Structure 1
Amino acid sequence: MNDDLQEKRMAGDYEIIQGLHIGDREIVLGENPRDETGMKYMCAFCRQNALFAEYSEVMASDDFPEIAELFGRRVAEQAQKTRIELNKPRIQGINDRLITAESCTPLSGEDDLHGKIVVVKPDVLRREYRRATHQLKLCTGGFGASPHSRGTACFCIDLYTGKESRYERMDVMGTMEPENLPGWARHGLTAIQQEQAQKKTNKERER
């Protein structure tokens, strides 16, 4: 497709001309050639989902080298912050080496993923997250969890962080039995199951 025909990414009146996503935030660089207030260029942090993008810590200037320098500095700081965060498993003695297809049961079209431990394909994760602590998840539902479904979404809970996430069925490399999980993942699975059981008990008491 011709680049001129692609829809421009905008943040207000600024066209995003550069962006780099590292860890939990993206750093963006924007330009508004029509600006007449001395704020032609901007740099900001961005978090976005399927519905909207949120920009924060926006800095604007008519001095492009100044904004470019800020962009570079924020990229470096975010990279350092992410590196420290991702090193925590190593500090805790956790083996977070990448899980390969040989280490799990390949996914078939007949598999029902409800309540199963799924292993996400490395190439669907951003480069900094290609490690076991971001691959192993408990599938809790979604149309994609059912075989022969038209829907593809699989809702999951990370075994390491306990956070909820969504993936497509095609993003799943395979499944893993609980007894084959590394110790940290078995601990995470137990914690999630206990929390789910407690929520179920609380709902039954409210009836």
Structure 2
Amino acid sequence: MDDAKRMVDTYEVKHAIHVGDKEILFGVDEKKIDCPYIVCNCTWDNPLGIEHYFSAVGSADYLEMMTEFTSRVTAQLETVKAEREIVTVSLRPFTLEHCIQNDNNQNLENKVAIIRPERLRPEYRTADKQLVLITGGFGARANSRGRAVYTTNLYSGKESRWNREDILGIVKPEYMPDWAKERLKQIQAQRQIKLKKQEIER
């Protein structure tokens, strides 16, 4: 069992709730008489996946800081709800029955894949977060020792890095939604334009 305490500077993290794109932390350092409590945000949205702490506030008043903590968590919940309300496609998650299961003999590049629901945060286990176009990475190759798989989300267009084991499988053609087919065409066209531009600039 890992008994290591999670620290933010000299503050021990006592409470942490991850909702949406941020984790909200409540830290305590009893030795700091004037400011024993802090609340801050944390993300890992950087190329190295390193914890980034920001928007820290501190106080000697526990209730004040606990109110700040819960207010930030509530704000994150409201943000996720608002994001979900503007999604115009079915949110029903994709499961194993909707795909050709991932195995190491497959070349995944340029195929539409399904991200495993359990690899997504509970609030993001929806179809719009799962469908991705695999654009590269050593992990996308057949029988590769590499793990990295680079993707473009079909709904949002966001580019991300996953590991090979995060891929549930390739979506079966009969389960590919119409919205995903249209977005796939758009993304592929954009990639072709980008590649041609890069060739001209060389």
Q: Compute the TM-score of the two structures, normalised by the length of structure 2.
A: 0.92
1:151 aligns with 2:149: no
Residues 51 and 132 from structure 1, CA distance in 2 versus in 1: closer, same or farther, beyond 3 angstroms?
closer
Q: Distance in 1 between matches of 2:37 and 2:117?
A: 36
Q: Displacement, 1:179?
A: 6.6
Structure 1 counterpart of 2:114, which letter? V
Structure 2 counterpart of 1:12, which letter? D
Q: Displacement, 1:12?
A: 1.9
Alignment RMSD: 1.6
Aligned to 2:86: 88
Q: How does 1:21-100 map to 2 (within 5 A)?
A: 21-36=18-33, 38-49=34-45, 50-89=48-87, 92=88, 94-100=89-95
The runs of 5 or more residues in structure 1 that have no matched partner are: none
Q: How does 1:110-121 map to 2 (within 5 A)?
A: 110-121=105-116
Q: Distance in 2 between matches of 1:51 and 1:148?
A: 26
Q: Distance in 2 between matches of 1:73 and 1:44?
A: 12
Q: Distance in 1 between matches of 2:31 and 2:110?
A: 54
Contact 2:104 2:144 in 1 (8 A): no
Deviations 1:41-73 (Å, cap 9, x if unpaired)? 001111125453322221101111221121111
Structure 1 counterpart of 2:139, which letter? G
Q: Distance in 2 between matches of 1:66 and 1:198?
A: 53
Aligned to 1:206: 201
Aligned to 2:163: 168
Structure 2 counterpart of 1:88, which letter? I
Residues 200 and 177 from structure 1, CA distance in 2 versus in 1: closer, same or farther, beyond 3 angstroms?
farther
Q: Distance in 2 between matches of 1:182 and 1:99?
A: 11
Residues 51 and 175 from structure 1, CA distance in 2 versus in 1: closer, same or farther, beyond 3 angstroms?
closer
- Aligned counterpart for 2:134 among listed residues 114, 134, 139: 139
SS at match of 1:73: helix
Q: Distance in 1 between matches of 2:92 and 2:43?
A: 28
Contact 1:22 1:79 in 2 (8 A): yes
Contact 1:117 1:177 in 2 (8 A): no
SS at match of 2:31: coil
Residues 25 and 76 from structure 1, CA distance in 2 versus in 1: closer, same or farther, beyond 3 angstroms?
same
Aligned to 1:128: 123
Identity value in percent: 36
The runs of 5 or more residues in structure 2 that have no matched partner are: none
Q: Compute the TM-score of the two structures, normalised by the length of structure 1.
A: 0.90
Deviations 1:147-206 (Å, cap 9, x if unpaired)? 221111111110011111111111111102567421221222122111111111112222
Higher mean Cα deviation, 49-58 or 115-124?
Answer: 49-58
Q: Distance in 2 between matches of 1:168 and 1:206?
A: 32
Structure 2 counterpart of 1:162, which letter? G
